[in-house]
């Protein structure tokens, strides 16, 4: 079946997973017709046995797949959107069009892979209780979906073709997803894009049908994902994994003989390859990312710019980078004016750019990294220097870190010697990346442990939790009180690096990363208090309590307990499974002790 649909004509919408589950029969039928499937096919499909509709399996991984081509009259245009009912606004399509092609100056002949990130259009319905949220809660914080953004994973091909007026074949296959699994989706594209360019739409349709049969992206499970004759073996990390450890899935079982591709990571980039030109300044760059400073990466191509931006965001892991970041940003981006205006200070954002125009447009930005071509593994580029911003005139300026920033911490010479030794010994880039990732992890943990320790002290004592009162509030975060704790329990306990740690903390407490981190921790601790309050309620003899109170008070208690159960389910409160069961038993016992007319009303409310 040929694919029709195209940039301007997406009939109907495919929203997140729960929208599909709640959709009416008419839309379900439309989806089956679009896909060319029959009810018999659905019955045989394992995905349908999980109660999913057509394309629900696909939507768990991807929003849609786009093909972007070059039209002599229109310029870049979305030629195909698949599945055809996938919804993109005109603004989203425009962003995808321009972000899916390298800038003309990049000169990317052959095949190029890169990644971009763009803002979801406002007004689009966002699901609050998507079935996938249950997977999201088990992910590390830095891998959780951001409801406001999409990722675009691009495989761009540009080859000479004399039969075309322009003289070149130019086309991009683009996967649009909410999931930040960079390495995974680049691997998928590497497997399917070259053949797609030869076989066109029927091949793409078959590949999408394969994705629709994949198991859900459950964190912690080893997943086997077949696509177009190969099988990929992956494991998505969980928030319970020890930071810094990669759960590498090894080819150890005999049954794994059919596995074609084993991915040790779904999201990590080659850290050393990206930091290689600037590794002398890696600690300073870590500080700039930690503090959410405005940062622009000027690179010769989108693959270099996107890899470097993603490596920067990754370097403060397991902390999440809470500001915006754009692995590849163009002058056509819908946020171009917002991010390049000179009427206000540059925003807290990391931009990856390739167009020489940005050298002039962003010259007022305080921190600019200019990199040359990233060398293949084993080749080491010349180390760039830190230079004054006034020396940056054009994108043709020499590679360097252009900033007047003075780092708070003294440079760790040990890591530099270790990496330089690896270069001399021709140590593989993967091994260098492991060393650099461990160094960043230890640095981030040394920084964050004192904050974690202080925030834990804001938690009320368990004995202050009474079942008959609202859960107690967390104590307020007081910056000066926290600073006093650093003298005895500061980063000096775990890090050998000297410097102005206090100044770094003071700056961090004013940054978007602290704000995002503290809001996340406060929410987790508040939920813990709610869970402890639930457990305290379960330990009480609630039936005895009702015998000493009026019917009105008893009904009020039942309604409050039901709300507690709903909250526990909706917010995924960290309660023990038997606590919820105990509470249900309590509620049933209380209702049965009430007069029949009240029983009927309360039982009815429990069913609605």
Q: What share of the chain is helix, strand, coil (3-state, %, to 5)?
A: 45, 15, 40
Cβ-based neighbours of 180, under 8 Å, separated by 6 or more: 143, 145, 151, 267
Return the pLDDT at 169.
85
CATH number at residue 413: 3.40.50.11500
Return the pLDDT at 78.
92
For residue 16, tell me if it sits in a domain. Answer: no
Q: Which is nearest to 98 in space by CA: 352, 328, 362?
A: 328
Give percent above pLDDT 70 in the chain: 81
Q: pTM for the full model?
A: 0.84
Six token digits for residue 458: 């804001």
Q: Do the beta carbons of residue 350 and residue 295 sit within 8 Å?
A: yes
Name residues of the chain where pLDDT drops below 70.
1-53, 72, 104-107, 123-134, 244-257, 373-385, 388-397, 604-608
Domain that holds residue 585: 541-605
Instruction: Assess whether 326 and 421 both reside in one domain.
Output: yes
Instruction: Assess whether 78 and 211 both reside in one domain.
Output: yes
For residue 40, tell me if it sits in a domain. Answer: no
Instruction: Assess whether 545 and 500 both reside in one domain.
Output: no
Instruction: Assess whether 304 and 416 both reside in one domain.
Output: yes
For residue 189, tell me if it sits in a domain. Answer: yes
Instruction: Assess whether 315 and 211 both reside in one domain.
Output: no
pLDDT digits (tens, 9 = 90+) for 398-425: 788 989 999 999 999 999 999 999 988 9
Instruction: Assess whether 456 and 388 both reside in one domain.
Output: yes
Domains identified in the chain, total number? 3
Return the pLDDT at 232.
93
For residue 424, tell me if it sits in a domain. Answer: yes
Instruction: Assess whether 332 and 413 both reside in one domain.
Output: yes
CATH number at residue 174: 3.30.450.200
Return the pLDDT at 23.
37
For residue 252, tell me if it sits in a domain. Answer: no
Return the pLDDT at 242.
81
For residue 233, tell me if it sits in a domain. Answer: no
Return the pLDDT at 388.
63
Q: How far apart are CA 444 and CA 36, in angstroms?
A: 51
Q: How far apart are CA 321 and CA 308, in angstroms?
A: 15
Boundary of a domain, candidates 509, 531, 562 = 509
Instruction: Assess whether 97 and 164 both reside in one domain.
Output: yes
For residue 242, tell me if it sits in a domain. Answer: no
For residue 280, tell me if it sits in a domain. Answer: yes
Q: How far apart are CA 531 and CA 545, in angstroms?
A: 21
Cβ-based neighbours of 143, under 8 Å, separated by 6 or more: 180, 181, 236, 237, 267
Instruction: Assess whether 435 and 478 both reside in one domain.
Output: yes
Boundary of a domain, candidates 489, 509, 529 = 509
Instruction: Assess whether 408 and 462 both reside in one domain.
Output: yes
Six token digits for residue 494: 């775990």
Instruction: Assess whether 174 and 276 both reside in one domain.
Output: no
Instruction: Assess whether 553 and 600 both reside in one domain.
Output: yes
Return the pLDDT at 125.
53
Alpha-carbon Rg for the chain, nearest whole angstrom, is 27
Return the pLDDT at 581.
84
């Amino acid at each position: 079946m040929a694919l029709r649909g195209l940039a301007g004509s997406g009939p109907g919408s495919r929203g997140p997973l729960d929208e599909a589950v709640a959709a009416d029969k008419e839309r379900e039928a439309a989806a089956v017709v679009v896909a060319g499937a029959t009810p018999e096919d659905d019955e045989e499909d394992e995905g349908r046995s999980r109660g999913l509709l057509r394309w629900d399996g696909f939507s768990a991984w991807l929003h849609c797949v786009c093909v972007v081509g070059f039209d002599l009259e229109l310029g870049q245009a979305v030629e195909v959107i698949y599945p055809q009912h996938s919804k993109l606004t005109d603004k989203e399509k425009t962003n995808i069009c321009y972000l899916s092609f390298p800038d003309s100056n990049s000169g990317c002949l052959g095949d190029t892979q890169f990644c971009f990130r763009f803002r979801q259009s406002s007004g689009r319905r966002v699901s609050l209780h998507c079935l996938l949220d249950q997977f999201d809660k088990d992910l590390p914080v830095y891998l959780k979906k951001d409801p406001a953004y999409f990722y675009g994973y691009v495989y761009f091909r540009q080859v000479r073709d004399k039969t075309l007026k322009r003289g070149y074949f130019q086309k991009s296959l683009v996967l649009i997803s909410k999931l930040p699994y960079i390495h995974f989706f680049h691997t998928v594209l590497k497997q399917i894009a070259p053949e797609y360019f030869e076989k066109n739409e029927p091949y793409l349709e078959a590949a999408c049908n394969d994705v629709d049969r994949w198991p859900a992206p459950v964190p912690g499970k080893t997943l086997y994902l077949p696509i177009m004759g190969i099988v990929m073996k992956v494991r998505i990390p969980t928030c319970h994994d020890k930071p810094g450890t990669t759960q590498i899935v090894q080819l150890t079982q005999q049954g794994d003989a059919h596995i074609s591709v084993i991915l040790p990571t779904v999201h990590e980039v080659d850290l050393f390859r990206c930091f290689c030109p600037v590794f002398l300044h890696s600690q300073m760059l870590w500080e700039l990312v930690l503090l959410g400073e405005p940062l622009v990466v000027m690179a010769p191509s989108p693959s270099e710019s996107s890899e470097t931006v993603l490596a920067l965001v990754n370097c403060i892991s397991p902390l999440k980078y809470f500001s915006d970041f754009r692995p590849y940003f163009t002058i056509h981006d819908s946020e171009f004016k917002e991010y390049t205006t000179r009427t206000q200070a540059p925003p807290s954002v990391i931009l990856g750019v390739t167009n020489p125009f940005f050298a002039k447009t962003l010259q007022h930005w305080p921190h600019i990294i200019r990199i040359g071509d990233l060398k293949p593994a084993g080749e080491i580029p010349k180390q760039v220097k830190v230079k004054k911003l006034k020396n940056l005139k054009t994108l043709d300026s020499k590679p360097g870190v252009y900033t007047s920033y003075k780092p708070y911490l003294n440079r760790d010479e040990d890591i530099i010697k270790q990496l330089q030794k690896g270069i001399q010994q021709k140590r593989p880039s993967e091994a260098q990346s492991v060393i650099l990732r461990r160094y960043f992890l230890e640095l981030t943990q040394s920084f964050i442990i004192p904050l974690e320790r202080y925030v834990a002290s804001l938690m009320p004592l368990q004995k202050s939790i009474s079942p008959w009162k609202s859960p107690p509030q967390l104590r307020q975060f007081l910056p000066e009180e926290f600073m006093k704790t650093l003298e005895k329990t500061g980063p000096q306990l775990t890090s050998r690096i000297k410097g102005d740690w206090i100044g770094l903390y003071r700056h961090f407490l004013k940054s978007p990363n602290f704000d995002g981190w503290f809001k996340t921790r406060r929410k987790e601790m508040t939920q813990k208090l709610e869970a402890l309050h639930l457990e305290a309620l379960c330990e009480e003899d609630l039936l005895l309590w009702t015998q000493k109170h009026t019917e009105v008070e008893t009904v009020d208690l039942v309604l409050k307990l039901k709300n507690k159960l709903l909250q526990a389910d909706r917010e995924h409160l960290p309660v023990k499974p038997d606590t919820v069961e105990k509470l249900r038993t309590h509620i049933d016992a209380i209702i049965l002790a009430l007069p029949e007319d009240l029983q009927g009303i309360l039982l009815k409310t429990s069913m609605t």
